[in-house]
Structure 1
Amino acid sequence: MNKTTPALALAALLSLAPHAFAQGMDHGKTGSGHGGMMATQNLPPAEAEVRRIDKDSGKITLRHGAIKNMDMPPMTMVFSVRDKAMLDGIAVGDKVEFTAVQDKGQMVVESIKPLKP
Structure 2
Amino acid sequence: MKNAIVSIVLGCAVAVSATAYAAGDTDNMNTAGGAQQGADVKNDMSHGEVKKVDNAAGKLTIKHGPLKNLDMEAMTMVFKVKDPAMLSQVKVGDKIDFVAEEIDGALTVTKLQKQ
**2:97 aligned with 1:104:** no
TM-score by length of structure 2 reads 0.63
**2:69 match:** 69
The whole-number CA distance in structure 1 between the counterparts of 2:76 and 2:104 is 20
Structure richer in helix, relative to its length? 2
| RMSD, matched Cα | 2.2
CA deviations over 1:66-98 (Å, ceiling 9, x no partner) = 011011100000000001101112000000000
- Higher CA-based Rg: 2
- Quick one: percent identity of the two aligned structures? 40
**1:6 match:** none
**1:93 match:** 93
TM-score by length of structure 1 reads 0.62
Aligned length: 79
Structure 2 residue runs of 5 or longer lacking an equivalent are 1-34
1:51-66 aligned within 5 A: 51-66=51-66
CA deviations over 1:37-75 (Å, ceiling 9, x no partner) = xx8xx5110000000000121100000000110111000
Structure 1 residue runs of 5 or longer lacking an equivalent are 1-25, 30-38
**2:43 match:** 43
